[in-house]
Amino acid sequence: MEVISVSDKVQQRSKSSKSKAAKKARGGSAIGSSADTPVPDQASLQFEVGEIERALYAQVVKKCGNRHHWEDWANDIAKIANTHIDRIQAILENKDNIAEIAAFEAFAKEIRDDLNNAISDADIIEMLAQHLITKPVFDALFEGYNFTQHNPMSIAMQA
């Protein structure tokens, strides 16, 4: 059975009889200010791709690869992350890895103390996997600075 609505028989709502000033005042705080505040014209900016933009793009491609490289890399990230997560979990599940388990527990304690007490071990393992994935990217972007050796979170994860 098909139901069809006929809209020309529906009564139209009556239009509000509120004044223009009343509509402007709704939701605003216009007490003590004039109602006729002029709206400034927005200026437009001319942007032309010049020598600087081309040089920046060239450096990004040189340091990080071209767009196609990143698309391929992005497609592999889920597999890479899951591999890192599996490896970290395997290390932590092996009771013979006393030093590694102690380091993880100390790191987890600090993360929970500093960030959020509700962070699970699985979340922390995922953070470590993400760090392993992004470290080479930051090292390439901040060549000569060694970003990951100066960033407090990276230092804690590397320890």
With respect to residue 38, please indicate whether it lies within any of the assigned structural domains: no
Q: Residue 137: CB partners within 8 Å, gap ≥ 6?
A: 64
Asked if the structure places residue 114 within a domain, the reply is yes
Within a domain: 92:
yes
- 93, part of any domain: yes
* Cα distances (angstroms) measured from residue 154 to each of 52, 108, 140, 158: 32, 14, 15, 6
**Number of compact structural domains in the chain:** 1
The rounded distance, in Å, linking the Cα atoms of 157 and 88 is 13
Residue 104 inside a domain? The answer is yes
pLDDT in tens, 6-60: 555 555 565 555 555 555 555 555 555 566 667 777 777 776 777 777 777 777 7
- Is the residue at 136 inside a domain? yes
pTM across the whole model: 0.52
The range of the structural domain enclosing residue 101 comes to: 76-158
